[in-house]
Structure 1
Amino acid sequence: MGNKKIRSALISVYDKNGLEPVLEVLHGEGVKLISTGGTAKYINDLGYPVQKVEDITGYPSILGGRVKTLHPSVFGGILAKRESDHLDTLKEYDIPPIDCVVVDLYPFKETVKEGASEDEIIEKIDIGGVSLIRAAAKNFRDVVVVPSKAHYTHFLNIAKHSDCTTTLDQRRAFAGKAFALTSHYDSAIQKYVRGEEQTDQLTLAHLEATSLRYGENPHQRASFYGDPRECIRQIHGKPLSYNNLLDIDAAVFTMAEFADEPPTVAVFKHNNSCGLATRSNLPEAWKMALAGDPLSAFGGVICSNVEMDEKTALEIDKIFYEVLIAPSFSKAALEVLQKRKKRILVQLNKYPEGQKTIRSTINGFLVQDRDNYQHEAENWIQSTEAKANEREFRDLQFANKVVKQLKSNAIALINNKMIIGIGAGQTSRVDALKGAIEKAGENNLPLKGAVMASDAFFPFKDCVEIAHQAGINSVVQPGGSVKDKDSIDFCDKNGMSMYLTGIRHFKH
């Protein structure tokens, strides 16, 4: 049951890239090669002897290739224990034992992403390949499974140095990877077939975990499951940490709100934006974003919605930061930024969309749609006699985008498309507002003419009273309090404008 010499291998792969070195090693050790259709032709064209599966089963590939390996003469050879009774059965039915299975599945997820027709997508649901993988993984005590081309290198490292002999621990490890792969593959299929609607089942399946240095704190172990490369790509710096990834997530989803704006820069600490500004050019946007809270910016995550240029890079390089994110970096900017070896640079390839949020709770998970609601300001209700002027109304829209991404209770104060103060994560909305006003005062930022956004309704009129005393004249909030009228009446008495969106943005 320990070490097992590979004497025969069944090979059935969709993508032939990287297969030739595997064939070379197997053939060099005298391993009998068995294969199907296109893979058999590929092996034969390389000059290696190969036995077709049809010669073993006595049946050709049928139904347009839907059925090739699904036969007792194939699966019997994979699933048979290397014990006398099973081996006698193989001998009785002239079934060759199979010691190694190499598979690369149909690219189902990739076909879905390409926007293929449903007929094309269905044909990329691999049945035989998944069955081969599961059968070989089940019988890991006697059979080694190589479940995808991603595992060729590891397999080759073993095979080259052991005369194609594997240990039980090695076969068990490959089996674990195999079952993880098929689970992930099936999860993608069920997600496609069911659609995005809420279901009565939750499947969490990711191929590999990336170990992180530690979690939120050094005494906590942590891993990242998934593949963010479609959205982001690290191009420089030390490995991403748990906290880096959380802040990058907050930065990317916040910046998605400003994707179509002129140059915009945001600074994040502990999942909240502490500075954010839009200007006609990037250096000025960075200057104003930093001015919003220069103290909190220390050690933060910075994100831009346009290419990072040299002039801005030189200014950013004057402070200590953890991560800088941008859709691209000019060559000159990279020359500046890459001088600091540990600073993390991340290229934003695309904004993520259509995701759900998942949080662990007491013995379970909470799942919800991500708050991707896009406001149409023309549908907001003007609840007061006074109306915001054009500049104020633009700032109200800006403020509402900012506050949507802050931790509740949240208040955002904006003046001329720039954060001048935020209050986030407070147990009292009044405290959130007072904190935002205090922050603006500390940084000598003008409250007169500023606007205020709240992530949820005002239960009392105290917030608008405090805002008015500070010089704020325009407010946007969801509304919905039984005492909305008290806040509205105060605004009317004091010439303030207030708009109700009807949409709350709690974020816990």
Structure 2
Amino acid sequence: MMRGKKIRSALLSVYYKEGLEKIVKKLDELGIKIISTGGTHKFISDLGIQAEKVEDITSYPSILGGRVKTLHPKIFGGILARTSNKSDIKQLDEYDIPLIDLVIVDLYPFIDTVASGASEQEIIEKIDIGGISLIRAAAKNFKDVICVSSMNQYDEFLNILSNNNGDITLENRKNFASKAFAISSHYDTAIFKYLNQDFEDIEFRESFDKVSTLRYGENPHQKGYFFGDLEQLFDKLHGKELSYNNLLDVDAAVNLMNEFKNDDPTFAILKHNNACGLAQRETIYQAYIDALAGDPQSAFGGVLIANTKIDNSTAKEIHKLFCEV
């Protein structure tokens, strides 16, 4: 797993340029040949660094309004060639195809475009074809190629590049291949969910690129993770990280309180998915006092929920009790 491979040629084609400068300068410092497209080529040239244009290799310009740039055997052949396969190397020589052992590429912002409320045509144009193809090709051939598929990976890759003088281990290449297929899978899931809004095919596809580490799992010796945007769900004012059991109790609490949404002031205290106290009174203060009276011992470290805003007097009373949420 630790076999190293020196990078000699790199293909760069990115939508987002943030953070790219350091990598480009390191590649140039290491004497690595750079191949690039359109805006990326201009970005590199503006840094005073030489890069070869993709169209100079393929002898084809970018066509169809930019829909086709890198989709050519002289690019994909160089990425997918197996250096241990004599027939592959022979064909590279025969068709004058340059080997490419580093691919840095990202994807058009499809998810952000959908979220912006853009028109269908604008959204469709943000379905990446060349980028996703480059990612899959480079990741598939991880034995010979390393694929950097997001600007979120730039710092990690730059550290590897710098610390090893351009030599990349097989373990590194396989790790980045795994990240690449995670990105392509997440991207395709988003496209399916957008297009399927009009048809509602009975298919379940879900993908999360955000994960939060919980304080612990179901038991303190177990790990727990939340997949999704936890910060979008909660405003953390103070205290420790949530645990898996905390989230279960929050879910149970919300489902319970939904039954009292438009009722008089109601307060509930939950612990281990069970209500250890619930009361509905004329004021939220009295509702809390009576909910706590239901089982004051079990209420310690519980999850508190109400169907209305908490006033100052109630907040002061709650402050006397340790609660998780």
Q: 1:35 to 1:315 in 2, by over 3 A?
A: farther
Aligned partners of 1:196, 1:279: CA distance in 2, in Å?
46
- In the other structure, the counterpart of 2:53 is 52
Amino acid at match of 1:49: Q
Q: Given that residues 8 and 33 in structure 2 are in contact (C-alpha distance below 8 angstroms), is that contact kept between their aligned partners in structure 1?
A: yes
Which of 1 and 2 has greater Rg? 1
- In the other structure, the counterpart of 2:167 is 165
Kindly tell me the number of residue pairs found equivalent between the two proteins: 323
How far did residue 169 of structure 1 move?
0.8
Amino acid at match of 1:298: F
TM-score (norm 2): 0.84
Amino acid at match of 2:64: L
How far did residue 252 of structure 1 move?
4.9
- In the other structure, the counterpart of 1:115 is 117
Give secondary structure in 2 for the equivalent of 1:87. Answer: helix
Q: Given that residues 13 and 102 in structure 1 are in contact (C-alpha distance below 8 angstroms), is that contact kept between their aligned partners in structure 2?
A: yes
Aligned partners of 1:145, 1:75: CA distance in 2, in Å?
13
Q: Given that residues 193 and 205 in structure 2 are in contact (C-alpha distance below 8 angstroms), is that contact kept between their aligned partners in structure 1?
A: no
Q: 1:272 to 1:162 in 2, by over 3 A?
A: same
Among residues 188, 193, 196, which one is paired with 2:195 in the alignment? 193
User: Residue deviations 1:34-67, cap 9 Å, x none?
Assistant: 2222222222223322222112211111111111
- In the other structure, the counterpart of 2:80 is 79
Unaligned ranges ≥5, structure 2 = none
Amino acid at match of 2:101: D
Aligned partners of 1:91, 1:162: CA distance in 2, in Å?
29
- In the other structure, the counterpart of 2:322 is 320
- The residue correspondences of 1:433-448 to structure 2 (distance < 5 A) are none
1:12 aligns with 2:28: no
Q: Given that residues 30 and 165 in structure 2 are in contact (C-alpha distance below 8 angstroms), is that contact kept between their aligned partners in structure 1?
A: yes
- The residue correspondences of 1:313-462 to structure 2 (distance < 5 A) are 313-323=315-325
Give secondary structure in 2 for the equivalent of 1:177. Answer: helix
Aligned partners of 1:26, 1:209: CA distance in 2, in Å?
32
Taking only the aligned residue pairs, the percentage that are identical comes to 58
Aligned partners of 2:78, 2:113: CA distance in 1, in Å?
32
- The residue correspondences of 1:173-322 to structure 2 (distance < 5 A) are 173-195=175-197, 199-207=201-209, 210-212=212-214, 214-218=216-220, 220-234=222-236, 236-252=238-254, 266-275=268-277, 286-287=288-289, 290-291=292-293, 293-303=295-305, 313-322=315-324
- In the other structure, the counterpart of 2:135 is 133
Amino acid at match of 1:38: G
How far did residue 287 of structure 1 move?
4.7
Q: Given that residues 212 and 230 in structure 2 are in contact (C-alpha distance below 8 angstroms), is that contact kept between their aligned partners in structure 1?
A: no
Q: Given that residues 267 and 290 in structure 1 are in contact (C-alpha distance below 8 angstroms), is that contact kept between their aligned partners in structure 2?
A: yes
Deviates more, 1:293-302 or 1:70-79: 293-302
How far did residue 203 of structure 1 move?
2.8
Q: Given that residues 180 and 205 in structure 1 are in contact (C-alpha distance below 8 angstroms), is that contact kept between their aligned partners in structure 2?
A: no
- The residue correspondences of 1:470-481 to structure 2 (distance < 5 A) are none
- In the other structure, the counterpart of 2:33 is 32
Amino acid at match of 1:19: L
How far did residue 93 of structure 1 move?
1.6
Amino acid at match of 1:248: V
Q: Given that residues 177 and 207 in structure 1 are in contact (C-alpha distance below 8 angstroms), is that contact kept between their aligned partners in structure 2?
A: no
Amino acid at match of 1:205: S
Q: Given that residues 271 and 303 in structure 2 are in contact (C-alpha distance below 8 angstroms), is that contact kept between their aligned partners in structure 1?
A: yes
- In the other structure, the counterpart of 1:153 is 155
Query: More helix by proportion, 1 or 2?
Result: 2
How far did residue 115 of structure 1 move?
1.9
How far did residue 296 of structure 1 move?
3.6
- Over the aligned positions, Cα root-mean-square deviation in angstroms equals 3.2
User: Residue deviations 1:473-493, cap 9 Å, x none?
Assistant: xxxxxxxxxxxxxxxxxxxxx
Q: 1:229 to 1:164 in 2, by over 3 A?
A: farther
Q: Given that residues 215 and 243 in structure 2 are in contact (C-alpha distance below 8 angstroms), is that contact kept between their aligned partners in structure 1?
A: yes
Give secondary structure in 1 for the equivalent of 2:324. Answer: strand
- In the other structure, the counterpart of 1:105 is 107
User: Residue deviations 1:309-365, cap 9 Å, x none?
Assistant: 876554333112123xxxxxxxxxxxxxxxxxxxxxxxxxxxxxxxxxxxxxxxxxx
Q: Given that residues 101 and 146 in structure 1 are in contact (C-alpha distance below 8 angstroms), is that contact kept between their aligned partners in structure 2?
A: yes
How far did residue 114 of structure 1 move?
1.9
Aligned partners of 1:282, 1:18: CA distance in 2, in Å?
52
Aligned partners of 2:232, 2:238: CA distance in 1, in Å?
17
Aligned partners of 2:133, 2:73: CA distance in 1, in Å?
12
Q: 1:194 to 1:33 in 2, by over 3 A?
A: same
Q: Given that residues 250 and 271 in structure 1 are in contact (C-alpha distance below 8 angstroms), is that contact kept between their aligned partners in structure 2?
A: yes
Q: 1:295 to 1:106 in 2, by over 3 A?
A: same
User: Residue deviations 1:156-213, cap 9 Å, x none?
Assistant: 2211211122111111111111111111111111111112876443334334655545
Give secondary structure in 1 for the equivalent of 2:35. Answer: strand
How far did residue 259 of structure 1 move?
7.7
Amino acid at match of 2:127: I
Query: More strand by proportion, 1 or 2?
Result: 1
Give secondary structure in 1 for the equivalent of 2:105. Answer: strand
Q: Given that residues 303 and 323 in structure 2 are in contact (C-alpha distance below 8 angstroms), is that contact kept between their aligned partners in structure 1?
A: yes
Amino acid at match of 1:23: V
